[in-house]
Structure 1
């Protein structure tokens, strides 16, 4: 919020660079747009400086700070989209769970869900405007401060990924406790996933109302499941969210924005994801671009999939890897990105080399095709 009162989610500056949105919608672009997951992050010294004095989730609840962190990478790099600085675990917080950021350990739930009876402790009806209004304020403020430079992406974690955190109490290598629920308590698991999907749909619609111009759903823990469990406990809810969001946007006469699904390590489900109601499928680095394009077809935009660790390579090598990636995907119906988020110890210069290489190579390829 500004000192003069809240900024209304209307009267936004005119968008000057819509390349990302056009690629997401399958329109022709002069070059391949590029952004990075976790582009607002600890690899930037200015990010660390801004974040130094504040608790992580207090930062997430400060629209002014979230706006500043979102804009920082755009001051350094000619990125084609901004993504609002927030965290996927604000949704479990909205359901009434406590989450704290423990230095050296990461996000931690002091009281995770242990048994089915713990579901009763969760809010069954969530007023997203009341519980997550600070995210909406951050989006509106950022849309104004972006001055139409590039589009702003909103996001949420997907139901299975959030459920796994809520049961594990934090990160896990196996997700054994959360997966045990799927086998022992399938009904309760579906109850929890349904509750999460409904809240997430409302949350995403609220983000569009606040000014988000595209939405990404992060199913970061998809790779812990096999194809059958993915189909029953992930895909069902990924589809439900897309359907609910589109219906609610349409009913409320709001812009129907591009939807991106990123299900990490779910390469066995690409064909299913292509039929799940999303405009863009984000890919991790475990699949060849040519294979993904062949399996998904030409009617859906693909996003990804450079191995984040490629950014540790010398700059010339980054350029070669980007060229190979663009050759594999083609420059149209494609958004360049990494196959996961940027790591805290990466060099900003190498991130810049990645962004510049995408623009240079895609323009070159478009000119010669």
Structure 2
């Protein structure tokens, strides 16, 4: 599919303005993993189709990307393309399976440093990942300008950890053994992943993505010292190189380093417009550390969506009032929505963000006039 056909005009640019630091009428809101297992309509698709088949079939990826936009009509201010961070290891030549009840599994992980020689040396993202670009273009048209479309990638350290561990891990002991025992090889691998990530993100924007997010999901498993060595330089490189390659086509970029609370100041200084926060951050403290350099995104604990209406409303009140509603803030969860969350709880979360956001915006405007 070609992205040459003009895209429909955008009707809601709230999240783009918030990311750029412009004043907004209220805080925009979206949710990580908003298209996924908590939706019965997505589970119905999974009965018929393998997870990665959905990712690799643009028509199916478009269909499930739009599911939350249709269900929560008018309540979400962004859409995120349905894909997976592990398509990058696949592009590098690794086999990744999604095992029901277990998650991702690499039948042949990287065990020894010399195993990186088995990876594809020169990855052509347009050959290996064209299905993602096609899905983005198709989805952008299907959205008809209702909300912007977010593209994404996994960060190099997180992807390396999966590639070495062979799947999820509670300790990341194998990946950490690599960075401690084989630092040079680890940096070589991280750089190769970074190169693919840069080309992949640039391609996503050319295909129609209007915003980008980089997921450092396992950032918090590193000490501050090791984060500075094995994560931060590659996160910074991604932002710098993507913007340089896109030039005037550059779009807002968000970095999400879960658990890396100690690196918030550094993350706000490496070229991203927005920094997404997990639920361990206090809004007031996060604003004091970042000093208005970036837009903050987040950060309600996803488990609060199991807490009942009263708990959800109270948490949203605290969150939106803590961050403010009209300047440099995007409401979200502190990580992805969990698979068994009731759809009604998600709806209440979104509606409450809207209500409280408008209330806080009116209060802010009144205060500014006085």
TM superposition score category, shorter chain reference: over 0.9
Separation in structure 2 between the aligned mates of residue 238 and residue 163 of structure 1, nearest angstrom: 13
Two-structure CA RMSD over aligned residues (Å): 0.8
After TM superposition, what 4+ stretches of structure 1 lie above 4 angstroms from structure 2?
none
Separation in structure 2 between the aligned mates of residue 8 and residue 322 of structure 1, nearest angstrom: 38
Q: Is the 8 A contact 2:3 2:208 kept in 1?
A: no
1:337 aligns with 332
2:272 aligns with 278
Cα gap change, 1:284/1:9 in structure 2, threshold over 3 Å: closer, same or farther?
farther
Aligned counterpart for 2:44 among listed residues 46, 49, 52: 49
Q: 1:117 aligned to 2:137? A: no
Aligned counterpart for 2:62 among listed residues 45, 64, 67: 67
TM-score, normalised with respect to structure 1: 0.97
Unaligned 5+ segments in structure 2 are 365-370
Measure how far apart 1:7 and its partner are. Answer: 4.3
Measure how far apart 1:8 and its partner are. Answer: 3.0
Q: Is the 8 A contact 2:269 2:293 kept in 1?
A: no
2:80 aligns with 83
Deviations 1:106-150 (A, max 9, x none): 110000000111010011210000000000000000000000000
Separation in structure 2 between the aligned mates of residue 9 and residue 24 of structure 1, nearest angstrom: 26
1:308 aligns with 302
Q: Is the 8 A contact 1:9 1:209 kept in 2?
A: no
Q: 1:174 aligned to 2:168? A: no
1:247-286 alignment runs, 5 A limit? 247-250=244-247, 253=248, 255-286=249-280
2:285 aligns with 291
Measure how far apart 1:316 and its partner are. Answer: 3.0
2:189 aligns with 192
Unaligned 5+ segments in structure 1 are 1-5
Q: 1:22 aligned to 2:17? A: yes
Separation in structure 2 between the aligned mates of residue 108 and residue 42 of structure 1, nearest angstrom: 18
* Segment drifting more, 106-115 vs 292-301: 292-301
Q: Secondary structure at the match of 2:280?
A: coil
Deviations 1:56-93 (A, max 9, x none): 11111000000001000011111000000000000000
Q: 1:157 aligned to 2:151? A: no
Q: Is the 8 A contact 1:9 1:140 kept in 2?
A: no
Separation in structure 1 between the aligned mates of residue 142 and residue 259 of structure 2, nearest angstrom: 35
1:22-41 alignment runs, 5 A limit? 22-41=17-36
Separation in structure 2 between the aligned mates of residue 16 and residue 9 of structure 1, nearest angstrom: 20
Q: Is the 8 A contact 1:305 1:336 kept in 2?
A: yes
Q: Is the 8 A contact 1:281 1:303 kept in 2?
A: yes
**Corresponding residue pairs, total:** 361
Separation in structure 2 between the aligned mates of residue 106 and residue 271 of structure 1, nearest angstrom: 33
TM-score, normalised with respect to structure 2: 0.96
Measure how far apart 1:55 and its partner are. Answer: 1.4
Separation in structure 2 between the aligned mates of residue 7 and residue 256 of structure 1, nearest angstrom: 19
